[in-house]
Amino acid sequence: MERLLYRVEEACIATGLGRTKLYDEISKGRLGVVRFGKSVRIPADELRAYVDRAKADAGLATAV
């Protein structure tokens, strides 16, 4: 079964981005999260959408 939520540290590994960068993107509203009390989780579909937007901004085609 595919994971539905990722901790920020796991999203860093998956994307190759740093922790500070991801928290910055979250605070600017560019990366949606789900909060459980103080815990922050990034939904898998939000992470994919974020990467797809970054690819589009860079002029790269997204896979279908």
Q: How many domains does the chain have?
A: 1
Q: Residue 62: what pLDDT?
A: 54
- Report if residue 14 sits inside a domain: yes
- Report if residue 62 sits inside a domain: no
Tokens read off for 47: 């992470």
Q: Residue 24: what pLDDT?
A: 97
Amino acid letter for position 4: L
Q: Residue 8: what pLDDT?
A: 97
Measured CA to CA, the distance from residue 21 to residue 27 in angstroms comes to: 10
pLDDT, tens digit (0-9, with 9 covering 90-100), for 34-45: 999 999 999 999
Chain CA centroid to CA 12, Å: 8
- Report if residue 11 sits inside a domain: yes
Q: How confident is the model at residue 26 (pLDDT cuts 50, 70, 90)?
A: very high
Residue 28 domain boundaries: 5-57
- Report if residue 21 sits inside a domain: yes
- Report if residue 63 sits inside a domain: no
pTM over 0.95: no
